[in-house]
Amino acid sequence: MPTPGTAVTAVKSSKEEKEIIVIPTFNGSNYANWQNAMSAYLEFKKLWPFVEKNTEESTDKKIKEQKLEAWLILNSKIVPKILTSLSSTCGCDPHKIWNRLRNNYATATIYGIYRVWSQYLRISYNGDLLNYIIKVEAALAEISTIGLSVMNELISVSIIETITGKCPIIMERILGDMETLANPFILLDKLRLIVNHEQVTRLKAITAAPSGNPGGNPPSGTALATTAGRKRPYIACKNGKHNPNAYHE
């Protein structure tokens, strides 16, 4: 039978596992989202100081344990191919790992600019407007993270071109709103509202349809009346022999 202390530890461990599940795994293309969630979680766990500052020279046992815990958390939320490269140069030091990731993915070097801009250019609209909006917002977050300054109007123009080419009816609803069109973030919010409105409208239409009649077939009463109104085929006797199905006595 587990002791009270063991039970409390098990509950705490289960709670921590659920907490860390919500943190996305860093895969090389989601740095902005990952670092925001990870830094907040490390702050919550009171481990952020061991990631933010270099404590390599410390010999304190408690600090070493906290550094190891921070490293384990980072280790669990980085894809293996990136983690292998980091481990070869940074070891188990969470501070070094964080700095290396920031230098590689949050700095406006030529590589950094190429990475975030090519990620944006690869986004396509395949008819799912909500999915397109989410992808564009994620790409803009990556662009913002490295400090790359891109004209808002340029981003808006590319969004307008993409949506107009695939679904001009949607763009016609906001073409006169110059303030919205000039800001990609406001434009994406407006497009999201349009998507939500269309989804609600479709849901209301489905709800208003006759119950139990999704295919638009006539109600059973009508079907019976129609069937009853049809003439039965004439059946007669043949060759002087009586046919029991014939309509006579």
Q: What is the mean pLDDT of residues 103-127?
A: 88
What's the angle, vertex CA 118, arms to CA 185 and CA 179, rounded to 5?
Answer: 20
pLDDT in tens, 20-77: 678 999 998 899 899 999 999 999 999 999 999 888 887 789 999 999 999 999 999 9
What's residue 198's pLDDT?
82
Contact 56, 95 (CB under 8 A): yes
pLDDT over threshold 90, residue 101: yes
238 confidence band (pLDDT: 50, 70, 90): low
Q: Which is more confident, 208 or 145?
A: 145
- Residue 143 phi, psi (nearest 5): -60, -45
pLDDT in tens, 157-185: 999 999 888 888 888 888 788 888 889 99
Q: Which of 68, 65, 23 is nearest to 44 (CA)?
A: 23
Contact 139, 121 (CB under 8 A): no
- In three-state secondary structure terms, 238 is strand
Number of Cβ atoms within 10 Å of the Cβ of 30? 17
What's residue 107's pLDDT?
83
- Token pair, residue 75, equals 């280790």
pLDDT over threshold 80, residue 6: no
What's the angle, vertex CA 146, arms to CA 184 and CA 20, rounded to 5?
Answer: 95
How far is Cα of residue 4 from the mean position of the Cα atoms in its chain?
40
What's residue 231's pLDDT?
53
pTM of the model: 0.58
Average per-residue pLDDT for the chain: 80
How far is Cα of residue 120 from the mean position of the Cα atoms in its chain?
16
What's residue 21's pLDDT?
72
19 confidence band (pLDDT: 50, 70, 90): low
pLDDT in tens, 179-202: 888 899 999 999 999 888 888 888
Q: What is the mean pLDDT of residues 2-28?
A: 61
User: DSSP class of residue 70?
Assistant: H
- Token pair, residue 136, equals 């564009």
